[in-house]
Amino acid sequence: MNFYKDKVFKKEILGNTMKKYRLAYDLSVEELARLLGVSSAFVGLIERGERGLSLKNLVRLTEIFDVDINELIYDTGENLTVATPQERPLRSLSALLTGLNEKEMQHIIVLVQSLKTLRGK
């Protein structure tokens, strides 16, 4: 049986699912907008089901939230878990790090190591 066979893509489902993931990752509308390269007003339109997303940004959402595209457009509920207060900063950081190249990641690692060193003093 194919779960998706009779499913129809609806902007409202995408918007609701995107908002659920945004909240689960403890991201503000502004933060998600920056990650997608769109305005916060546009994110609001998407979340209300008034606008859709380009394929490029749909793929970007799958990277940000580490989720299958079917989960976003059909809201299967398979992968969404609500972050605990301890997990929220890690999820936010993970979303922010998505898309960085290797050199940029190395800079982040050095920065974190420096912060840990300073904290230890």
Domains, the chain, with CATH or none: 11-120 (1.10.260.40)
Tokens standing for residue 93? 């950081």
Tell me which residue of 7, 8, 18, 9 sits closest to 48, measured CA to CA: 18
% residues pLDDT > 90 (the chain): 26
Looking at every residue in the chain, the average pLDDT score rounds to 81
Let me know: does 26 contact 83? Beta carbons within 8 Å: yes
What pLDDT sits at residue 5? Answer: 46
Q: What is the pLDDT of residues 62-110, one digit of tens each?
A: 888 877 787 788 766 655 665 666 776 777 787 778 778 899 989 999 9
Tell me if the pTM is above 0.75: no
For residue 44, pLDDT beyond 70 = yes
What pLDDT sits at residue 86? Answer: 74
Tell me which residue of 47, 53, 51 sits closest to 69, measured CA to CA: 53
